[in-house]
């Protein structure tokens, strides 16, 4: 453990406004760039349903449209038509808590250095609060409560050198997790943080180039995967092709494992691994580590189905659809009152009585955060007649909050931070409960125990598993600055 890896334990409750898991996309030299971005964002929709936006450049002009809601809600045909040009950046944003306002939607567009700059960001900057306070003291006026805007102001105030110089210097100032896309009339810039916490890949579309948070966006638009962007690497893409710039020392890589466990789409490949196959391998490994006598294996849809199928296959127990998820749930849905909840109204998941009735059921889920969902599902299965319910979790217990963009939760809300596995078993009402070990998880990821990045170094990739063991790959800051932004977020303003 050393200085680079944060050991401070910041106040758990304060981090929540910062979480911004999102999806980004960029295109350069592509016909119909806005339409292309629209379909790419649609493929990345699972990474963010709060807002969507696209900015394009055509000659020296920038065009911009963003709005709250799903991609299909935000854009009409006339919006796409207005977004002229062969270069674009797009963004979908995830709703955590608070501050779902249009000004926070991305890409953001600013006038800097006498020209327009659009930027989109996936991740979370841990020193944004401190930097914002400094910039405001110097007379900068912020438009949003987003940490992303800090980078725009750093670039705007940069003196001397090119815009790429300004971007590089600004990225060296901020810390945290990010995949960034920048668009100007002169080029597209894509950057991944020094730890590689958030994924980003480069692809080829005809004679043009594309970048995206996940490769499923390439498949959707018919682009060809070229390579993952390296941690601490920035690509300058323009008429001259793709120019890689290494703006940070090759730190120990620390890709977020939750991208595999829960967040990414099963058909995406991240840093060379297919998400579905990793999940299925986790399920198989889990069956080996924690076998049980049972009649059926079921998964909690959608993210746990791969692991459940893997468990079933390894265990030789039939896989069944024991839980059905309603796929029509949307943002405008009216939640049932307490009275109706008590009467048994349940919207998201429905157990299949004829599948579980009288059966010993293995229920595979990808993670336990607060435990409320697990308890509810176990009870639901018992109500539907399950004789035994054995819960199997295809990742280790989550004991620490995430500061890099995954909305896990404050520490005191994490079930595994407070209880032993035995206590958790009782808490969720299961007949048995088992988690995949960290070693098992790393093996499913195709890496040895040395891969976990505890400082020993070693061959192969390393991952950020801070939520499992609390060793954070960056410095953490006290939350003085955060309070400033939270206050701003609560204010009525910034319509």
Which residues are documented as binding site for [4Fe-4S] cluster? 256, 402, 464, 467
Residue bearing tokens 């400033």: 484
Judged by CB under 8 A, the chain residues 247 through 276 that form the site for a copy of itself are 265-267, 269, 274, 276
Instruction: Name the DSSP class of 6.
Output: B
Q: Rule CB under 8 A: which of 193-252 touch a copy of itself?
A: 205-206, 216, 219-223
- Taking the complex as a whole, the smallest distance from the CB of residue 472 to a copy of itself amounts, in Å, to 30
Least distance in Å: CB of 72 to a copy of itself? Answer: 4
Rounded to whole angstroms, the Cα distance separating 440 from 209 reads 37
Residue ranges with strand state E in 87-140 = 87-93, 108-112, 115-125
Least distance in angstroms from the C-beta of 332 to a copy of itself: 5
Q: Which of 21, 22, 254, 465 is catalytic?
A: 22
Min dist CB 149 to a copy of itself, Å, is 8
Among 7, 11, 136, 288, binds a copy of itself (CB under 8 A): 136
**Does 148 contact a copy of itself by CB under 8 A?**
no
- Answer yes or no: 216 catalytic: no
Burial (CB count within 10 angstroms: exposed 0-12, middle 13-18, buried 19+), residue 333: exposed
Helices (H), 145-243: 148-157, 163-173, 216-221
Taking the alpha carbons at both ends of the chain, their separation in whole angstroms is 45
Chain positions 332 to 391 lying near a copy of itself, rule: CB under 8 A, are 332-334, 336-337, 339-340, 343-347, 350-355
CB atoms within 10 A of CB 157: 14
Question: DSSP letters along 298-348, please?
Answer: EE-TTTTHHHHHHHHHHHT--B---EEE-TT--TTPPPPPHHHHHTT---S
How many residues contact a copy of itself, by CB under 8 A?
Answer: 107
Q: Of 138, 128, 134, 98, whose CA–CA distance to 403 is shortest?
A: 128
Residues 158-197 that bind a copy of itself (CB under 8 A): 158-159
For residues 412 and 418, give the distance between their C-alpha atoms in angstroms, rounded to a whole number.
Answer: 7
* β 273-274/269-270 pair status: antiparallel
Provide the minimum distance between the beta carbon of 352 and a copy of itself in the complex, in angstroms, as a whole number: 4
* Residues in region 27-86 near a copy of itself by CB under 8 A: 31-32, 35-36, 38-39, 42-43, 45-46, 49, 55, 61-67, 70-73, 75-77, 80, 82-84
Q: What angle do CA 193, 258, 95 make, to 5 degrees?
A: 80
- Of 134-142, 407-415, 428-436, 470-478, which segment contacts a copy of itself by CB under 8 A? 134-142
The one segment of 120-128, 324-332, 369-377, 439-447 that binds a copy of itself by CB under 8 A: 324-332
Which of 111, 288, 423, 478 is the binder for a copy of itself (CB under 8 A)? 111
Q: Which residues form the catalytic set?
A: 22
């Amino acid at each position: 453990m050393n200085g680079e890896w944060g050991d401070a334990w910041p106040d758990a409750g304060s981090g929540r406004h910062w979480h911004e898991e999102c999806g980004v996309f960029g295109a350069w030299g592509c016909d119909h760039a806005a339409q292309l971005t629209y379909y790419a964002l649609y493929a990345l929709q699972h990474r963010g349903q709060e807002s969507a936006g696209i900015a394009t450049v055509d000659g020296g002009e920038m065009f911009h449209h963003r709005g709250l809601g799903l991609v299909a809600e935000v854009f009409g045909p006339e919006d796409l038509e207005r977004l002229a040009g062969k270069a674009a950046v797009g963004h979908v944003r995830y709703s955590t808590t608070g501050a779902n306002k249009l000004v926070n939607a991305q890409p953001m567009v600013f006038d800097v250095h006498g020209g327009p700059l659009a930027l989109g960001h996936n991740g979370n900057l841990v020193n944004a609060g401190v930097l914002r306070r400094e910039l405001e003291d110097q007379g900068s006026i912020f438009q949003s409560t987003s940490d992303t805007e800090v980078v725009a102001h750093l670039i705007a105030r940069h003196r001397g050198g090119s815009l790429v110089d300004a971007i590089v210097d600004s990225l060296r100032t901020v810390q945290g997790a990010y995949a960034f896309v920048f668009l100007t009339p002169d080029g597209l810039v894509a950057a991944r943080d020094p730890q590689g916490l958030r994924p980003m890949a480069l692809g080829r579309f005809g004679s043009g180039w594309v970048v995206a948070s996940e490769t499923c966006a390439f498949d959707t638009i018919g682009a060809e995967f070229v390579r993952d962007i390296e941690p601490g690497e920035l690509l300058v893409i323009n008429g001259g092709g793709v120019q890689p710039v290494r703006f940070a020392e090759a730190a120990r890589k620390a890709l977020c494992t939750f991208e595999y466990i829960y967040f990414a789409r099963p058909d995406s490949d991240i840093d060379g691994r297919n998400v579905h196959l990793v999940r299925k391998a986790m399920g198989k490994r889990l069956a080996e580590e924690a076998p049980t006598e049972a009649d059926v294996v079921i998964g909690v849809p959608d993210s746990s189905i791969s692991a459940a199928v893997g468990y079933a296959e390894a265990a030789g127990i039939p896989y069944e659809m024991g839980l059905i998820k309603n796929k029509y749930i949307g943002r405008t849905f009216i939640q049932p009152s307490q009275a109706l909840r008590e009467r048994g109204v349940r919207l998201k998941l429905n157990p299949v009585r004829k599948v579980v009735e009288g059966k010993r059921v293995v229920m595979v889920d990808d993670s336990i955060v607060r435990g409320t969902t697990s308890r509810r599902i176990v009870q639901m299965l018992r109500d539907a007649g399950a004789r035994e319910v054995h819960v199997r979790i295809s990742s280790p217990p989550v004991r620490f909050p995430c500061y890099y963009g995954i909305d896990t939760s404050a520490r005191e809300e994490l079930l595994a931070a407070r209880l032993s596995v035995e206590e958790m078993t009782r808490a969720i009402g299961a007949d048995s409960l088992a988690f995949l070990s960290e070693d098992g998880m790393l093996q499913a990821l195709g890496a040895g125990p040395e891969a976990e990045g505890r400082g020993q170094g070693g061959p192969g990739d390393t991952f950020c598993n801070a939520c499992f063991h609390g060793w954070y790959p960056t410095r953490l800051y006290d939350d003085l600055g955060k309070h400033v932004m939270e206050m701003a977020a609560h204010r009525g303003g910034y319509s």
